[in-house]
Amino acid sequence: MRVSMTLRRMLPKLIPFFLLCVIVGYGYYVRAIRPYPEVTDIVHHEDSFSELNSYFKDIAVKKGALYAFEILRRAPLPPQTDIHLLGHTVGDELYKQYGKDAIQYCTDEFRNACSHTVVVGLLLDYGEKALDDISESCKKAPGGSGAYTMCFHGLGHGVLAYENYNLEKTIALCKKTGTRAAQFEEYPQCVGGAIMELISGGGHSPEVWSTMRPQYLTTADPLSPCDKPYMPKEVRAFCYIYVTPHLIEAAGGDKNHPDPAVFPKAFSLCRALPVGDQDRDVCIGSFGKEFIWWARQSDARDITTLTDEELARMTSWCSRSGNAHDTTLCVESIQDSLYWGGENDPKISAHFCALLGVQDPVAERSCTSYVQVLTDRYTPHTSK
């Protein structure tokens, strides 16, 4: 009876304590079960890419860019969403929040979007005097052995914007990035990024871009600007690597979602270059890298999840090139993108070759041999 009376007197004091425990416990439960509410909320922001882009920017501003990158990793997104561009949006905010130190938080996800935005931010903020800091940041870029030079591809996007979409000035500034240590490969990578920005970019200054783009890209000369006198020979191949979407436009297709019926005509535009010209082979082969994204119907964040159907779709498109030699060039370009400088799981490359072998054992052997070339190129070798 005495214990019961004591408990009765203490109960009014204990109830608030128990309620507090329940509330705190529930809070921990919610955070454990649903730590990122945006992952499920994102379905309400998918009406357009513009809305989705704004949503990720809002998350990055309010909760931090690192948090927003976590959402980008986890959230279910509509098929064929430009994950790389969303990564640029979040990366822009990461750079604003951490400056040049942002590079230490980058990963090689989303096709290196994070490291790309850091170096572009440095250039736009500080101009040419940032080139040394940009070089140091690129040395820290995450990924395989190709990450350093690919970092300058990302820079090329920003150089074009920095030079108000004037391609001649962009080429001149890109040339200053080349170093003897990297055999000056930074230079063509930078120009390649600028060509990609010219064709499909414009995010930094849409009005200037829309005015300047038609000065360089025309249907009257589909190979422009790669065939122009101001395009130096040493970077011309990288121009042809990235001009592919414009060739689709020149053939009458939609560069973002082309009808495969336009592919034969688009391939044929490269044949304006002389037979035996290395640039001709580059131009034709580079369709393969685009086919990955056009064939992809599922989540593009992890390239290793490509389905057999998607892989087969790409090879069938390569066969529209018109001849066996050009088809091989196209298939090798697919492998370049699947392997991505050694940054992707090589199992998808091996599986792709095996899939080719079902129809053509010779093609499988050629494919496997090319994968070995890529492996040798991007695997670090230590001297004994």
Three-class DSSP labels, 66-78: HHHHHHHHHCCCC
* pLDDT band of 9, cuts 50, 70, 90: low
Enclosing domain of residue 343: 254-378
Residue 107 pLDDT exceeds 80: yes
Q: Which is higher by pLDDT, 306 or 186?
A: 186
Its sign, for the CA torsion 235, 236, 237, 243, is positive
pLDDT in tens, 162-212: 999 999 999 999 999 999 999 999 999 999 999 999 998 888 889 999 999
Do the domain assignments include residue 311?
A: yes
Q: Does residue 327 sit within a domain?
A: yes
SS (H, E, C) 75-115: CCCCCCCCHHHHHHHHHHHHHHHHHHHHHHHCCCHHHHHHH
Q: Which amino acid is at 344?
A: N
- Into how many domains does the chain fold? 1
Q: Which two tokens stand for residue 272?
A: 């304006």
Position 172 scores a pLDDT of 98
In a domain, 299, yes or no: yes
Confidence of residue 12 (pLDDT cuts 50, 70, 90): low
- Residue 241 to residue 281: CA distance in whole angstroms: 10
The answer to whether residue 330 is domain-embedded is: yes
**127 conformational bin, left if phi > 0, alpha if psi -120 to 50, beta if neither:** left
Q: Is the pLDDT of residue 384 over 60?
A: no
CA atoms of 225 and 172, how far apart (whole Å): 15
DSSP 319: G
The rounded Cα 280 to chain-centroid distance in angstroms is 25
Peptide bond just before 225 cis, omega within 30 deg:
yes
Q: Is the pLDDT at 302 greater than 80, yes or no?
A: no
Which pTM was predicted? 0.83
Q: What is the pLDDT of residue 298?
A: 59
With contact defined as beta carbons under 8 Å apart, do 89 and 53 qualify? yes
pLDDT at 20 over 50: no
- Asked if residue 115 is part of any domain, the answer here is no
Q: How many other C-beta atoms are found inside a 10 Å radius of the C-beta of residue 13?
A: 8
Q: Dihedral through CA 217, CA 222, CA 227, CA 228, nearest 10?
A: -40
pLDDT(6) > 70: no
